[in-house]
């Protein structure tokens, strides 16, 4: 059983794995860069704590 491209479902190409082509790899990258994909974080994200508002007068 061959793996399928997550973008178009065609068989993958080892040169562009896990995608079938450079086009599909670029589509995936654009989705990440435009915030269509996100990785959910927990409320207590110790590695990247929320920024604090500092009142500057």
User: Binding site residues for Zn(2+), as ranges?
Assistant: 5, 8, 20, 24
Which residues fall in the annotated binding site?
5, 8, 20, 24
Q: Which residues contact 10 (CB under 8 A, 6 or more apart)?
A: 4, 20, 21
Residue position matching structure tokens 């989705």? 31
Q: Which of 17, 19, 15, 23 is nearest to 6 (CA)?
A: 19
């Amino acid at each position: 059983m061959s793996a399928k491209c997550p973008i178009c479902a065609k068989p993958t190409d080892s040169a562009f794995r896990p995608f079938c082509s450079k086009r599909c790899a670029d589509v995936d990258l654009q989705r990440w860069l435009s915030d269509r994909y996100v990785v959910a974080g927990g409320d207590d994200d110790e590695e990247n704590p929320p920024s604090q508002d500092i009142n500057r007068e």
